[in-house]
Amino acid sequence: MSFEYTPENLTKLQEMVGRYRVKRAALLPALNLAQQQLGYISPEVEDYVAGLLNVPVVDVHEVVTFYTLYKQRPSGRHHIRLCRNISCWLRGSESIEGYLNQSLGAGEGEVSQDGRFSWEKVECLGACEIAPMLQLDDDYYGSLTREKVEEILKNVKD
Amino acid sequence: MPIVKLLSENFGRREARDIRWYRDHGGYEGARKCLFELTPEQVVQEVIDSNLRGLGGAGFPTGRKWTFVPQESKKPKFLVVNADEGEPGTFKDRQILTWDPHRLLEGMMICCYAVGIHTAFIYIRGEYVRPAEILKQAMADAYREGVLGPRCLGKDFTLDIFVHEGAGAYICGEESALLESLEGKKGWPRLRPPFPAIEGLFACPTVINNVETLSHLPRIVVNGGKWFAEVGSPRNGGTRLFCLSGNVKRPGVYELPMGTPLRELIYEHGGGMLDDKALKAVIPGGVSAPVLAAKEIDVPLDFDSLIKLGSMLGSGGVVAMDEDVCMVRALQVISHFFAHESCGQCTPCREGTGWLEKIVTRLVEGQAYSQDLPNLMRVAGNMIGTSICALSDAAALPVRSFLHKFNSEFEYHAQHRRCDVEERKATATPLARSAV
């Protein structure tokens, strides 16, 4: 399946490239844009972005595999990142982990059967004051209990 | 001590994001004073006099850092703002970005004027989607009002600022890895010299400062460097945003003068320990900082005092642990983190972080080998000072401090292949348990 940016995203990228002295510096923004559009970084995306920015494909692949936010396969329609680091662990993140496992019927890194959710454990998200916390898509939710997570999941409509 | 709010007065105040509100409340006056009344040299001198130190974690004097950048340069100079907050236990920059974005932008203007910079990048961690949106809105407003752009505040001074989103990597908070990442590469720290002040972003002279550090500048300029220095403790100017988390009643960000005792932060501002349990241990500056035992909490929270105690103030992330926390398990959480985040460039760190996690996990799971404790110390010892960046040391130092200060727990795990903390909790009488 070939990939290319929407005309709108292509314009965005061209604007971004102009910010830097070196074209390659736009690589992370370019990949972020592609992931927003497709949902993950496929090998075709790597080829396409490499061509646009004049970067060897292997270098693009190196970057994609280095950073944790790049997904190499489709995730659920909504993706959950549960913090597992010290402050969240002290406040019971393991119990939330158990709850996600059980309520979504999907293990870490898997997609729920209805395709709606996927989840993973991540390192500190910089919100320890509301530990234990998680990120659902773009938003942070904290002071979690099993009941609260249930509520959060219920409020996701699509 | 009186409450001094230099950075946090607008936290929780949604209207402060509005540029007009910010300007009506004295905002951009520091930048205006610089542009119209002070020479760049005078601004640098004020910052040197303020004793402001880098609040990302290293604590290097900010004014002095700026002086390393050559004044005359054929190449352009850059400011890079480190907003890649990722040190576990730290969440202060997120508050500034969320509640007071104009204070950061104003601080950036002051820095750029002082050093002669016309292009700045804010490298923000990819997970901070909402803070980045707020920041971009603030920037758009500042451009529209002529605060930023070709003629900042009407003065013949150009400044362009761009937001650059990261993609998830703790190591990119290390400044040279951040530069690599900003150039579109994986975040592998660079060998120094050359230092970023000489050859940084795109091999051009570069200042890299933390969000909190820059946000202090407007007040320093308005009130004077000496005034700021007097707020803090000797050689540690001003206030700091302390991030308190863990088993405390009121976790949160507390702005306190440098030198405030750790005990005051935990027991007065944080309300003490949850369920009034006893305090067992405190990590004083993000998980890279060696752990302190409960009896050490009278230490003043400033860079020099914590170094004297064999730890560090680091990022200001204070994590308090109560009597029911198994220190072997806690170390496993931390060691897993460093093994996950080691970038893989240097052998001692790549291999060492993996071994530390493996051995601590064996201790946790009751699978310890007889030589595991000495081995842990040996592996940690081989990781200190042997890598390009400080991540290796940051992974090793907590291991040493945990083993040193909570040795009996580790010995118990090693000898009995069980956890004494768990056993004590299980055998406590129901009455005693309900009291805690």
What DSSP state is assigned to residue A76?
A: -
CATH number at A7-66: 1.10.10
| CATH for A78-154 (3.40.50.720, 2.40.50.140, 3.40.30.10, 3.40.50.2300) | 3.40.30.10
The pLDDT tens digits of the residues spanning A108-127 come to 999 999 999 999 999 999 99
CA A65 – CA A75 distance, rounded (Å)? 16
The pLDDT tens digits of the residues spanning B175-201 come to 999 999 999 999 999 999 999 999 999
CA B282 – CA B269 distance, rounded (Å)? 15
The parts of chain A modelled with pLDDT lower than 50 are none
Angle (CA) B166 A89 B283, round 5°: 80
Among candidates B66, B79, B30, which has minimal Cα distance to B220? B30
On whether the CB atoms of residues B328 and B410 are closer than 8 A, the answer is yes
Each domain of chain A, given as residue ranges in start order, spans 7-66, 78-154
Residue B435 has pLDDT above 80, yes or no: no
B149: confidence class by pLDDT, cuts 50, 70, 90:
very high
On whether the CB atoms of residues A111 and A98 are closer than 8 A, the answer is no
Residue B131 has pLDDT above 80, yes or no: yes
Residue B432 has pLDDT above 60, yes or no: no
Among candidates B219, B281, B230, B276, which has minimal Cα distance to B8? B219
The pLDDT tens digits of the residues spanning B225-255 come to 999 999 999 999 999 999 999 999 999 999 9
CA B116 – CA B76 distance, rounded (Å)? 9
With beta carbons under 8 A apart, name residues in chain A contacting B181: 28
* B73 close contact with A: CB closer than 8 A: no
B436: confidence class by pLDDT, cuts 50, 70, 90:
very low
CATH class for the region spanning B239-322 = alpha beta
Each domain of chain B, given as residue ranges in start order, spans 14-231, 239-322, 327-427
Asked if the Cβ–Cβ distance from A32 to B204 is below 8 Å, we say no
| CATH for B327-427 (1.10.1370.40, 3.40.50.2300, 3.20.20.70, 1.20.1440.230) | 1.20.1440.230
Tell me which residue in B126, B130, B202 faces A139 most closely, judged by beta carbons. Answer: B130
- Strand, coil or helix: A137: coil
Asked if the Cβ–Cβ distance from A62 to B168 is below 8 Å, we say no
Q: How many CA atoms lie within 13 A of B372 on its CB side?
A: 26
B209 bridge partner residues: B81
The pLDDT tens digits of the residues spanning B59-118 come to 999 999 999 999 999 999 999 999 999 999 999 999 999 999 999 999 999 999 999 999
B268: confidence class by pLDDT, cuts 50, 70, 90:
very high
On whether the CB atoms of residues B78 and B125 are closer than 8 A, the answer is no
With beta carbons under 8 A apart, name residues in chain B contacting A129: 91, 243-245, 251-253
The pLDDT tens digits of the residues spanning B22-47 come to 999 999 999 999 999 999 999 999 99
**What pLDDT does B426 receive?**
85
Angle (CA) B351 A28 A87, round 5°: 55
Minimum distance, in Å, between the CA of residue A7 and any CA atom of chain B: 21
Q: How many CA atoms lie within 13 A of B227 on its CB side?
A: 11
Residue B429 has pLDDT above 70, yes or no: no
Cβ within 8 Å of residue B67, ≥6 positions away: B44, B48
CA B196 – CA B60 distance, rounded (Å)? 14
CA distances from B338 to B66, B119, B311 (A): 31, 33, 18
* B185 close contact with A: CB closer than 8 A: yes
CA A21 – CA A38 distance, rounded (Å)? 28
Minimum distance, in Å, between the CA of residue B185 and any CA atom of chain A: 6
Question: 3-state SS string over chain B?
Answer: CCCCCCCCCCCCCHHHHCHHHHHHCCCCHHHHHHHHHCCHHHHHHHHHHHCCECCCCCCCEHHHHHHCCCCCCCCCCEEEEEECCCCCCCCHHHHHHHHCHHHHHHHHHHHHHHHCCCEEEEEECCCCHHHHHHHHHHHHHHHHCCCCECCHHHCCCCEEEEEEECCCCHHHHCHHHHHHHHCCCCCCCCCCCCCCCCCCHHHCCEEEEEHHHHHCHHHHHHHCHHHHHHHCECCECCEEEEEEEECECCCEEEEEECCCEHHHHHHHHCCCEHHHCCEEEEECCCCCCCCEEHHHCCCECCHHHHHHCCCCCCCCEEEEEECCCCHHHHHHHHHHHHHHHCCCCCHHHHHHHHHHHHHHHHHHCCCCCCCHHHHHHHHHHHHCCCCCCCHHHHHHHHHHHHHHHCHHHHHHHHHHCCCHHHHHHHHCCHHHHHHC
On whether the CB atoms of residues B269 and B244 are closer than 8 A, the answer is yes
Residue B418 has pLDDT above 80, yes or no: yes
Residue B1 has pLDDT above 70, yes or no: no
Q: How many CA atoms lie within 13 A of B78 on its CB side?
A: 26
- Strand, coil or helix: A111: strand
With beta carbons under 8 A apart, name residues in chain A contacting B171: none
CA A40 – CA A26 distance, rounded (Å)? 18
- In the block, which residue shows the tokens 């329609």? A77
CA distances from B88 to B246, B314, B396, B401 (A): 11, 11, 16, 17
Tell me which residue in B128, B167, B245 faces A31 most closely, judged by beta carbons. Answer: B167
Q: Give the ranges where A6-56 is alpha helix by DSSP (H).
A: 7-17, 27-38, 43-53
Cβ within 8 Å of residue B45, ≥6 positions away: B63, B225
* A31 close contact with B: CB closer than 8 A: yes
B240 bridge partner residues: B256
Tell me which residue in A21, A26, A128 faces B89 most closely, judged by beta carbons. Answer: A128
* A56 close contact with B: CB closer than 8 A: no
Q: At what angle do helices B407-416 and B372-383 cross, to 10 degrees?
A: 130
Mean pLDDT, rounded, for B296-320: 97
Q: At what angle do helices A27-38 and A57-66 cross, to 10 degrees?
A: 70
CA A25 – CA B102 distance, rounded (Å)? 26
CA A117 – CA A136 distance, rounded (Å)? 10
A7-66 and A78-154 in the same fold? no
**What pLDDT does B33 receive?**
98
Among candidates B275, B267, B314, B332, which has minimal Cα distance to B86? B314
pTM: 0.97
CA B238 – CA B256 distance, rounded (Å)? 9
How large is the ipTM? 0.98
* B90 close contact with A: CB closer than 8 A: yes
Residue B431 has pLDDT above 70, yes or no: no
Asked if the Cβ–Cβ distance from A66 to B187 is below 8 Å, we say yes
B163 bridge partner residues: B122
Residue B3 has pLDDT above 80, yes or no: no
**What pLDDT does B428 receive?**
73
Topology of domain B14-231, CATH: Rossmann fold (3.40.50)
Tell me which residue in A62, A123, A129 faces B252 most closely, judged by beta carbons. Answer: A129
Question: Sign (positive/negative) of CA torsion B291, B296, B297, B300?
Answer: negative
The residue type of B26 is G
Residue of chain A nearest B331, judged by CA positions = A86
On whether the CB atoms of residues A119 and A156 are closer than 8 A, the answer is no
